[in-house]
Amino acid sequence: MTISQDLTWNEHVENIVKKAGRRLYMMYQLKRAGITQKDLVSIYVSMVRPVLEYVWQTNLPQYISDNIEVIQKRALKCIFP
């Protein structure tokens, strides 16, 4: 968890989005390598979703939630084209 000087969630969410984005990039690489859709779902559920859910448990302003939602949609687009 990242605690900023002004005690907002912005920096923490930014770090979480970056972390999830790196894992999502790995999923795209595995998809290009020919991994099955079932395995992609397993990877998403075990590696990407927990990172995003850690943030979802807080009461965030809409503009911050939107940043997380973008990653979520990109992951689903990777799994279900």
pTM above 0.85, yes or no: no
How many CB atoms are located within 10 Å of the residue 48 CB?
24
Contacts of 36 (CB under 8 A, 6+ apart): none
pLDDT of residue 25: 96
Whole-angstrom CA distances from 28 to 13, 60, 65, 69, 75 are: 22, 28, 23, 18, 9
> How do the domains of the chain map onto residue ranges?
10-79
The 3-state DSSP class for residue 5 equals coil
Q: What single-letter amino acid sits at 22?
A: R
pLDDT digit of tens for each residue in the chain (81 aa)?
777 677 777 888 888 899 999 999 999 999 999 999 999 999 999 999 988 887 655 677 888 888 888 998 999 999 988
